[in-house]
Amino acid sequence: MVRRLRFNGTGSGDDGCPSVHEDLDSGEVIVHGPPLTDPEDVARLRHLGEGEVPIVVPRALLVDWGPKDMTREAKIIDLDGFGRLFTQFEHTAWRLETRRRYASDETTETYAQFTRGESVDWNERDSEWCANRREQAALGKRIERVRIVDSPPTNGQLYLLDNARRNSAVGERIMNLRRAEADQLNLPSEDFWLFDSRMVALLMFDDADNLTGVELITEPAEVVRYSMVRDAAMHHAVPYEEFAAGLAVKE
């Protein structure tokens, strides 16, 4: 079975070697770098088994990018606590949306209108949510999202593409990225918010696509990894208007 590997980071800004990856299923760590080749050095190693290859990596690579605190207890907050994060952040809130559907969308009247083929009027919908976004934008805060879209898009993804008009109207910046391109970039399948580049809110869903809880992550190396995901996604994503226009031409 092919391993599900996650790139943690590299100690080199030039050629990407040496680097650390993590097996998401087993928790094993894969490190690659230049081999230790001097016969005298190799002869000094203890317990070097047949087929094993010694490699040399800077100590800082393991300090910065080796998985830490494997036994830590996850910090889970409820949805009310999650909502308060959108008034407490200071500068930026950024989201990656990767799922094919969100159960909460499908309970709304706007979703029913959309699936009936009616034009949805997004003005003043969900007023408490809109008021919060307008308030944060007025304070100079930046709220952005990149939404991953399949080919062909699911109904839920098409709904969110139309819904982006509301997000944009209250001060959010919405971008889209095709899933094939996201896979090429090795973006994760996780849904998360990144607040002020210092705290990650990892969204947890059940098998029916309901949001059930949120895990807060503040470990610096993990936050940097999610920040790298944001940078890659933002670099390749396009504004939702441009993305929607491209879909219309394709149809």
Question: What pLDDT, on a 0 to 100 scale, did the predictor assign at position 125?
Answer: 59
The matching CATH number, chosen from 3.30.420.40, 3.50.50.60, 3.30.870.10, 3.90.1170.40, for 75-250 is 3.30.870.10
Q: Enter the pTM of the model.
A: 0.78
Q: CATH 3.30.870.10 in the chain: give the residue spans.
A: 75-250
Half-sphere exposure of 161 (CA within 13 A, CB side): 24
Question: What pLDDT, on a 0 to 100 scale, did the predictor assign at position 220?
Answer: 86
CA 8 to CA 209: how far, in whole Å? 28
- Reduced to 3 states, what is the DSSP secondary structure of residue 27? coil
Ramachandran bin of 187, using left for φ above 0, alpha for ψ from -120 to 50, beta for the remaining angles: beta
Question: What pLDDT, on a 0 to 100 scale, did the predictor assign at position 69?
Answer: 60
Question: What pLDDT, on a 0 to 100 scale, did the predictor assign at position 1?
Answer: 75
Question: What pLDDT, on a 0 to 100 scale, did the predictor assign at position 85?
Answer: 96
- Mean pLDDT in order along the chain per 10 residues (251 residues): 79 68 79 84 81 82 70 83 95 98 95 95 79 95 98 97 95 98 94 97 96 93 92 98 86 57
